[in-house]
Chains A and B, each alone.
Chain A
Amino acid sequence: MKNYLKIIFLIFIFIHNGLTNAESILIQNVTIFDGKTNNPYVGNVLIEDNKISRVSSSNMRGDKVIDATGKILTPGIIATDTDIGIVEIGALSVTRDDSSDLYQIGFSIYDAFNPNSVLIPWNRSNGITSAMTLPQNTDSPIGGLGSFFVLDSNIEVSGIKDNVMIGRVGGSGSKSRSETFAVIEDLLEFASSLNLKDMESYKDIADLIGDSPIAESMDLHPRDIKALYNLVNNDLPLIINANRASDLLKLIDLKLKYDLNLIIMGAQEAGLVADKIAKNNIPLIINPINNIPESFDELAANIELAAYLENQGITLMFNAPRSHNFHLIRQGAGVAVANGMSYAGALRALTSSPVEVFNLGDRGEIVAGKVADLIIWDADPLEPSSMPEKVFINGKDIDLTSRMTRLTDRYIKNKDKPSIYRN
C-alpha cells in the first residue's frame, strides 16, 4: 500500500515537473536590444522550454505573461575573461584552483569549477549569465586551458570544456621577449609536426617529447602535447595577453604562419597597429576603462581606444580587473560609449561577439531558436547603477538573491533582534 502511494506520488511529481518545464513565458511589449543588430525595437519574446521560440511585434500567447512595457531586454551578458568558480578569495591560496605546478600547456581548470561559488549568484544578479573561466598564465608563454560555464548554479556543471588556450608575451622582468617569441615558435613548430597516429599511446607521446628539444627542456607532459596538437589542428582559440604595438605585429606574423585562431587580450597599444589587426581579423578583448600606462608595454593606453578600434572594424570584447566583479564590463562598456563607441557595438561586445569568436553555441542573441539566456533590466544596462529585474538562463526565471542581498537585509531589517537571529 505504501509503495502504491509512493508510486502515485512520484507520478504526480513527474507530471507536475513536466508541466512546469513546458510552461511557456511571454515577455510582452519590451524594448529589444537583440545583441546583434544596430537598432532596438519594441516586441514580444516567447520562451518555450529552454529556447527563444518566437520574437515578434505581433501578439502572442504564453502560459505566463510578463508585461515589460518600457523595459529593456538584452541577451544574457557573457564575460570572456574571468576566474569565476576557481578563485573564491584572492589572497587565500586554499580557495584558489587557478594554477598548476606540474602541467603547463595542457593545464585545465574544468574539473575545479565550483558551481556553488558566491561569485556566481552575485555576477548573475548583475547580468552575467555565462562566462569563460581562465587559469593563471603558466610557465609556458602559451598554455593553460580555459573553459566556458553556464552560470545557472546547477550542481551538474554545464559548459564547454577546454575551449580556449591562453598565453602571454611582453616585458617580463626576467627574460627578453625575444626568447618568449622563440619559445612560442618552437612549440608551434613542434605542434605542427604532430600526427595523431604517432600519439596513440602514452609511450608514443613520451617518445615524441624525448625527440623534441623544446618539449624536453620545458619538461612537458603528454597532456601538454595533446593540447598543443589541438591548438594547431583543431583551431582551438588562443587568447594571448599582449600590449605593446610591436608585440601585436609579431603575434600577427605567428597567426599567419601557423594559421592560429588568435585573439589578443589587453591590446593597450592596438590603436597604433589597428589597420593590421583589422586586416587579419583578429578579435580583441580590452578593458575600455583602463587608460593607465601601467607598464612600458602600455604607454599608448587611451580611454578612446574602444571607439577607435570599432571604427577600424575590429571585433571587440571586454574584460574587467580579475577581482570578483566581472559584471563591471557593463560599466566599461558604458565608458566606451561615453567616449565614442556605438551603443549597439558595446552591447555586441558583451553578447554576440564572444559567442561568434569562441563558438559558444546558440546564445548571445535574441532571435528564435537561440537559448533563452535573457535579461530584463530596470534601466539602461550600460549604466552601472542599473540592475537586472529578471534573469533567465536556459529559459528558467532565476532567483536574484545573492549572499550580498542577504547580508544587506540582515543589517537593515528586523533591527530589534540581534543580527545572528535575523534572516
Chain B
Amino acid sequence: MTKLIIKYLFLIFVGFIYTDPFESTYEPLPPENILIKNGNIYDGEGNEFLQTDLLIQDRQIIAIGKDLPVSTNFRTIDATNKWITPGIIDIHSHMGVYPAPGVSTSADGNEATSPVTADVWAEHSIWVQDPQYALALKGGVTAFHILPGSANLIGGRGVTVKNLQRNTINSMKFPNAPHSLKMACGENPKRVYGNRQQAPSTRMGNAAGYRKSWIEAEAYLSTLVEYEEKSDAAKELAYKPQRNLEMDTLAGVLRGEILVHNHCYRAEEMATMINIAKEFNYKITAFHHGVEAYKIADLLAENNICGALWADWWGFKHEAYDMVQANIAIVDQALGGKGCAIVHSDDAIGIQHLNQEASKALAAGLRAGFDITKARAMNWITSNPAKAAGIYDQTGSLKVGKNADVVIWSKNPFSVYALVEKVFIDGATAYDRSTNFQPASDFDVGIISPEKNRIEE
C-alpha cells in the first residue's frame, strides 16, 4: 500500500514536471483589508454603480454595495467623485521580450530563424528588469499577455504575467493561466522568409505552412494518444513516444489546452484562418490587430473569436490601410451585441493609456450610430482580455470572490485627464500616487544620478 502511494506520488510528481516545468511561483504582496468608500464603479461586466463601496479582504473582493458595514480593522479609502475599475489587462504586449532601452542585446521577441518555431516560449526571453512594467502599472495595468513577435507563421508560446516585477520569470507568471500560441498572417512572415528566398514568400505559402504543421501535429497527437490509452502493462512493453517541443505546443492547441492568438490584418485572411482552424479542429481565441475586422464582424462573432484591436493605428503597412475608427465598436456590436472586442496596445506607451484608447474607440462607435455605454466599453480593456487570456475566472471584473485587482482613478477613466491614483493587485497596494509608492526596476537605480532612481530625475 505504502509502495503504491509512493508510486502514485512519484507519478504525480513526474506528470507535474512533464506538463509544466516552469510553473508559476507568484507570491502576492502582503494582503490588506480595505474599504473603498463611495466611489463610482465600472465593474467590467458592463455595469455602472454610482456612489458604491467595495470591500477587499484576504486578496479577494468580498462585497460591492452601498454603505457596507465594516469592522475597524479595514483601512478606509474615500473614493467620493473618483472612479473604480478592475485592473486593466493588455492582451498584446511585448514588454520584457522587447524591453526598454530597445537595444539588440535584449530584443528577444522574435525567433525569426524559421517560419515555424512552435518550440520557443516567450517567457524564456523575458527580462525581468524592464523599466516599462512600472510605467504600465501607473496606467492601471495589473496583468498582461506577452507574445512572441509576428515574423513567423507559428511564432511560439505566449505567457500571461502579473504586473508585479520580480527577480525570476516564474514568480511573475499568472498562476493557472493557460499557455497561448502566437500565429501570424500576411505580410510579415512572407516578407521575412521571402526575402531569404525561402517559403513562405506569398500568402498561399503562408496557408500551406500552417496546414503542413497541423498535419504533423495531428500525427504526433495520435501517436501520443495511442500510447496514453494503453494499459499500464502494455505501456511497459511499448516505446514511449519521444517528446518534440514544437509538436508539444501544437498538440496542446489541438487538445484545447493552449489558446491561439492570431496576428491577422485582412478580412479574407482571417476567414481563411477560420477555415484552417475548422479543418484541424482547433479554436482561434482572438485575432490581433485585425484592422479589417469590421468587414467580417459577424463571422468573428459566429465563431466566438475576439478581435484584439487598436483604436486607430493604420497605414504602416498595406494590410493596415483600411482602418476605420469604429472597428472596435463594430466588432463589439456584431450579431446584436454578441461580439467580443478587446482594445490592445502592442506598445509600451499605449499600454499606459488603454483607457484613452477605449475612449477613442467608444466615441467612434457612438458617432457611427451605435448605442454603447461606457460601462460596456470598459469590458474591452478588462473582462474581454481576461477571457481571451483564460484568466477570467480569477480577474478581469469586480465580482465577489475574484482577485482584488482594482484601480482607483481621479476622474472618469474615459477622460484624458483621469490619472490612476491607486492600483491593488491581489488586494495589496502596488501603486499609490498620493504617497509616491511605486516600483523601480534595477535598471532604474542610480542610472543617471547615483543617488536617485531614473524616474525621479
Contacts and interface: CB of A to CB of B under 8 A. Distances in A.
Interface of A: 88-92, 119, 271-272, 289-296, 298-300, 302, 323-325, 328, 331, 334-335, 337-339, 382-387, 404-405, 407-408, 411-412, 419
B322 A119 contact: no
A383 B313 CA distance: 18
A119 B323 CA distance: 11
A323 B315 contact: yes
A400 to B, nearest CB: 11
A57 B360 CA distance: 34
Given A90-B317, A295-B102, A412 B349 contact: no
A149 B369 CA distance: 34
B454 A293 contact: yes
B353 A300 contact: no
A408 B102 contact: no
Contact of A408 (B132, B187, B317, B324): B324
A382 B369 contact: no
Contact of A91 (B313, B318, B325, B415): B318
Contacts of B322: 407
Contact of A294 (B100, B353, B447): B100
A408 B349 contact: no
B102 A324 contact: no
Contacts of A328: 312
Contacts of B457: 271-272, 299-300, 302
7 contacts: A293-B454, A299-B457, A300-B448, A328-B312, A338-B418, A404-B324, A411-B294
Contacts of B321: 89
A292 B100 contact: yes
A411 B348 CA distance: 31
A412 B417 contact: no
A387 B363 contact: yes
Given A91-B187, A296-B101, A384-B356, A119 B417 contact: no
Interface string B310-332: 00111111100111111000100
A291 B349 contact: yes
B377 to A, nearest CB: 10
B368 A408 contact: yes
A67 to B, nearest CB: 21
Contacts of B297: 411
Contacts of B454: 293, 299-300
Given A292-B100, A302-B457, A411-B330, A91 B324 contact: no
Interface of B: 100-103, 131-132, 135, 187, 294-295, 297, 312-318, 321-326, 330, 348-349, 352-353, 356, 359-360, 362-363, 367-369, 414-419, 447-448, 454-455, 457
A383 B415 contact: yes
Given A323-B313, A385-B362, A294 B416 contact: no
Contacts of B294: 408, 411
A382 to B, nearest CB: 6
A324 B100 contact: no
Contacts of A323: 313-316
B329 to A, nearest CB: 9
B356 A331 contact: yes
A293 B131 contact: yes
Among A91, A334, A337, A411, the most chain B Cβ lie within 10 Å of the Cβ of A411
Given A302-B455, A331-B356, A408-B326, A384 B318 contact: no
B436 to A, nearest CB: 13
Given A294-B100, A323-B313, A334 B417 contact: yes
- The list of the 10 closest CB pairs from A to B, nearest first, reads A334-B416, A385-B363, A324-B315, A90-B316, A408-B324, A91-B317, A338-B417, A385-B359, A300-B457, A323-B316
B453 to A, nearest CB: 11
Max chain B Cβ within 10 angstroms of own Cβ: one of A293, A299, A387: A293
Contacts of B315: 88-90, 119, 323-324
Contacts of A291: 135, 349, 352
Nearest to A304: B455
A403 to B, nearest CB: 8
B173 to A, nearest CB: 24
A29 B457 CA distance: 45
Contacts of A295: 101-103
B101 A294 contact: yes
Contacts of B362: 385
Nearest to A339: B419
A385 B101 contact: no
A338 B362 CA distance: 20
A250 B359 CA distance: 42
B243 to A, nearest CB: 39
B325 A404 contact: yes
Given A331-B360, A385-B362, 6 more contacts: A299-B457, A300-B448, A323-B316, A339-B419, A382-B416, A384-B416
Contacts of B135: 291-292
A331 B353 CA distance: 10
A289 B139 CA distance: 12
Contacts of A405: 324
A408 B360 CA distance: 15
A350 to B, nearest CB: 14
Nearest to A272: B457
Contacts of A88: 315
A386 B416 CA distance: 11
A323 to B, nearest CB: 5
A374 B291 CA distance: 31
Contacts of A293: 100-101, 131, 454
Nearest to B415: A383
A341 B211 CA distance: 54
B441 to A, nearest CB: 11
B353 A335 contact: yes
Nearest to A336: B416
